Chain A
Amino acid sequence: MTPDLLLSALAQTLRISVPYGLAAVGGALSERGGVINIALEGILLMGALGYVLGAHFTGSAWAGLVTAALAGLLVALVHAFVTVTCRADQITSSLGLNLAALGLSRFVLKEVFGSSSNSSRVAGLPQWDIPLLSAIPFVGPLFGNPLFLLAAALCIAAWFVLFRTPFGLRLRATGEHPEAAATLGLSVAKLRYAGVLLSGGFAGLGGAWLAADQRSFTDGMSGGRGYIALAAMIVGKWNPLGAVAACLLFGFCETLQIRLQGGALPNEFLQMLPYVVTMVVLAGAIGRAHPPAAVGVPYEAEAK
């Protein structure tokens, strides 16, 4: 294997992994606080739509990033309201939101762009010139991509926040034993809202990556990535850095899939790999993955 081939494969893996990583880390923050978030898929989609709308109406990619994050926050806000304030089932709420995102994005696509399949072309992200790093073949451009840098910074920051700050400790306590957090005067609802909203912002930016990469929105462009991110979060054992590692693994599988098109190994088997790996991990074959103890359980302050 030549260095060029390696570097280009690395670049492709990283590119593919950005939306996975943002969504998976977001999912970890939500679930660590005790709220299952299968709506990552819908949030990615709404984030992509948000980016295209923002960039379309202002002509600015920066505005697109902001609207993408806002779109993600909006979906997350609904999820938080339904599951934390109204205490409804988290899985069903997520699935409903995925459906809503699909319908809403198509609806908006038709109303704004008059098409049922794709938006018009919008601005892409600017390319910064970073000394030395930008000169690296293939991978260089990534270091000049502001969203790539932001994503990397956010994923690392998420780990520090979760495991090194009081907020992270409180969030984890809430996901493990909300009553314990409540008896120390912490607001379970606020913490859970925070976790869910963070996941919305993260995954919304993940959606922005998809749209910015392609400079347009296409119907259903999240394409199941939210579910892969969910899988990566599990394989990464609800740890942001673990989730990122799993995303890179899944991204690498996808790179192989694209590059080995028609090769000896049928493409579809590489396609299955993330899902199979996740099932194997859940089966306890590669160390047991324990979700936060109270994830999925609505918290009721005056339960009797």
Chain B
Amino acid sequence: MKPPIIELDGIVKTFGALRANDGVSLSIEAGSIHALVGENGAGKTTLMKILYGLYQPDAGTIRIAGETVRLRSPADALARGLGMVHQHFMLVRPLTVAENITLGKEPTAGPFLDHARAAAAVRALSDRYGLAVDPTARVETLSVGQEQRVEILKALYHGANLLILDEPTAVLTPQETEELFAVLRELKAAGTTIVLITHKLREVLDLSDRVTVMRGGKTVGTRETAATSIPELAELMVGRPVLLTLEKKPATPGAAVLELDALAASDDRGLPAVRELSLTVRAGEIVGVAGVEGNGQAELVEAVLGLRRIATGEARLGGVRLNGLTPRAIAALGVAHVPADRLKRGLVLDFPLADDLVFGRHHEPAFHKGPLVDRAGVRAFAEARLAEFDVRPPDPTARAGNLSGGNQQKLVVAREFTRDARLLIAAHPTRGVDLGAIEFIHREIMRQRDAGRAVLVVSSELSELLALSDRIVVLYEGRIVHETAATATDERTLGEYMTGRAASVTGPRA
């Protein structure tokens, strides 16, 4: 019998006090699709970066096709036929597709680069695997789906017969995901081994042959995909049975809180991003905004918050016109906001918890005396909120950056959900958050609704929107192309609208 293509045995990797991998063992059969699932922070990516030579393990052995190896750098991994498609693409944006793909193994003519041969090599590969992409295009002009194709081609060009994909569908539409899966199945048929890192259990069942679950830096089980189920995998991931559905009372919408009237705004490059968008969010209802990222969701939120200029049209909060108001003035009218990327926008990681708990609220009377910070007021508020939301450690002088991801999210929630707000805007509220914290955040959002606030949720996770929202609108190229009750639709239908294939908008996205 042939040995497994990959055998990892007792892999340990620590970052300071954190044991990201704590004696992990994993075996992958050649020519299979092997899924690696686990919550954020379970150690999946660390393990794969060790396999790819990017991290050096503190202990443990790696065997490739039965041979014990030491992978000192990605060069070693590449030489042994490993390829990796990272979650954050590793593409040099100003360079062309062919330059990106051939980088490190460039065809040359004498001492110089041979662009023609590079392009030909890329074309040959892309024809063979049905990964259409223009080799001469600059990467910065590509769509996310195309960028991913370039990443896969890059690995293949460098001779990968084992392909590791880290959360490959995080940025894709349901349709793009299916295209990707078709490519992966084709690769498998051609003999390539595929390791799929994901936290989407549905995809695991769709695609993989076997699945290994990681939790807390350890592997907690491997199953034949055909013989397992989502509840079983979820329980393995979290370590206890998980409620995958949300208890939800029917909404009782009240008066209009947020009214958008033919709103338009441009993106950072000055191109139209939100186009004549009209939407009303009422007190006591949750409106979900679906859409492929980059279709105006971010700009829409920023325009409402005053972070982006409203080009034409109008936004009103409780009848008050928001156009031209500063972000601070809008927040003072009663808007709470959980930003999409809380590590970058929601918290100052180097601040003590007390300072972060009043961040953006520091102009409220309780927190300052004239031009001076009211340190006693801030501290009292912080201590109360830390206790109320069970943030650990409950020490107002601890640095936010030293907290776990879940506690950082609680910090933002503690600050925003305790505002005297009429409108709550939550962008990707559970991105990068583990299952336990997702439950907590969803319940809190529901409580906000039931307390009579208007809630606008933006998310790229359709399952999240379907579970949370009362109403869902789909954004495509800055317009609302579909509006529906959450109970009257499904992921498939929403996906059609998200890609502009359904609805009145014609022509596929470039």
- Where the two chains meet, the residues of A that have a C-beta atom closer than 8 Å to any C-beta of B are 160, 164-166, 169-170, 172-173, 176-177, 179-187, 293, 301-302, 304
CA separation between A291 and B10, bound complex, in Å?
Answer: 44
Chain A's closest residue to B77 (CB) is A185
A165 touches B111 (CB 8 A): yes
CA separation between A2 and B88, bound complex, in Å?
Answer: 62
A184 touches B15 (CB 8 A): no
CA separation between A30 and B15, bound complex, in Å?
Answer: 32
CA separation between A217 and B101, bound complex, in Å?
Answer: 50
Which 6 interchain pairs have the tightest Cβ spacing?
A185-B75, A184-B104, A180-B90, A166-B106, A304-B15, A185-B74
CA separation between A176 and B84, bound complex, in Å?
Answer: 20
CB neighbours of B46 from chain A (8 A): 304
B103 at interface, CB cutoff 8 A = yes
- Contact status of A180 and B91, CB under 8 A, knowing A169-B99, A185-B74: yes
B92 touches A176 (CB 8 A): yes
CB neighbours of B74 from chain A (8 A): 182-185
B112 touches A173 (CB 8 A): no
CB neighbours of A160 from chain B (8 A): 112
**A-B CB contact pairs (8 Å), 18 listed:** A164-B113, A169-B103, A169-B113, A170-B104, A172-B92, A172-B95, A173-B95, A176-B93, A180-B92, A180-B103, A183-B86, A185-B75, A185-B76, A185-B104, A187-B73, A302-B54, A302-B55, A304-B20
CB neighbours of A177 from chain B (8 A): 90-93
Interface centre among B56, B90, B100, B158 (most CB of A within 10 A): B90
- Where the two chains meet, the residues of B that have a C-beta atom closer than 8 Å to any C-beta of A are 15, 20, 46, 52, 54-56, 73-79, 84, 86, 90-95, 99-100, 103-106, 108, 111-113, 154, 158
Task: Compute the total of residue contacts between A and B using a CB distance below 8 Å.
Answer: 78
Question: A289 → chain B, closest Cβ, in Å?
Answer: 13
Chain B's closest residue to A181 (CB) is B103
B103 touches A170 (CB 8 A): yes
Q: Would you call the interface of chain A mostly helix, strand, loop, or mixed?
A: helix
Question: B383 → chain A, closest Cβ, in Å?
Answer: 31
CB neighbours of B84 from chain A (8 A): 183
B93 touches A293 (CB 8 A): yes
CB neighbours of A304 from chain B (8 A): 15, 20, 46
CA separation between A183 and B76, bound complex, in Å?
Answer: 11
Question: A290 → chain B, closest Cβ, in Å?
Answer: 8
Question: A152 → chain B, closest Cβ, in Å?
Answer: 20
CA separation between A293 and B112, bound complex, in Å?
Answer: 25
Question: B81 → chain A, closest Cβ, in Å?
Answer: 13
- Contact status of A185 and B95, CB under 8 A, knowing A166-B108, A169-B106: no
CA separation between A208 and B52, bound complex, in Å?
Answer: 46
A185 touches B112 (CB 8 A): no
Q: Apart from A184-B104, A293-B94, list 14 A-B contacts with CB within 8 A.
A: A165-B108, A165-B111, A165-B112, A169-B95, A170-B103, A176-B92, A176-B93, A177-B93, A183-B52, A183-B86, A184-B90, A185-B77, A185-B104, A304-B46
Chain A's closest residue to B94 (CB) is A176
Question: B114 → chain A, closest Cβ, in Å?
Answer: 10
Chain B's closest residue to A185 (CB) is B75
CA separation between A160 and B79, bound complex, in Å?
Answer: 29
A179 touches B90 (CB 8 A): yes
**Which listed residue (A169, A170, A183) contacts B90, Cβ 8 A?**
A183
Question: A178 → chain B, closest Cβ, in Å?
Answer: 10
CB neighbours of B91 from chain A (8 A): 177, 180
CA separation between A183 and B116, bound complex, in Å?
Answer: 24
**Which listed residue (A170, A172, A182, A186) contacts B54, Cβ 8 A?**
A182
**Which listed residue (A164, A186, A302) contacts B104, Cβ 8 A?**
A186
B93 touches A185 (CB 8 A): no
Chain A's closest residue to B18 (CB) is A304
Chain A's closest residue to B15 (CB) is A304
Interface centre among A160, A182, A185, A187 (most CB of B within 10 A): A185
Chain B's closest residue to A304 (CB) is B15
CB neighbours of A180 from chain B (8 A): 90-92, 100, 103
CA separation between A170 and B99, bound complex, in Å?
Answer: 10
Question: A141 → chain B, closest Cβ, in Å?
Answer: 33
CA separation between A122 and B319, bound complex, in Å?
Answer: 83
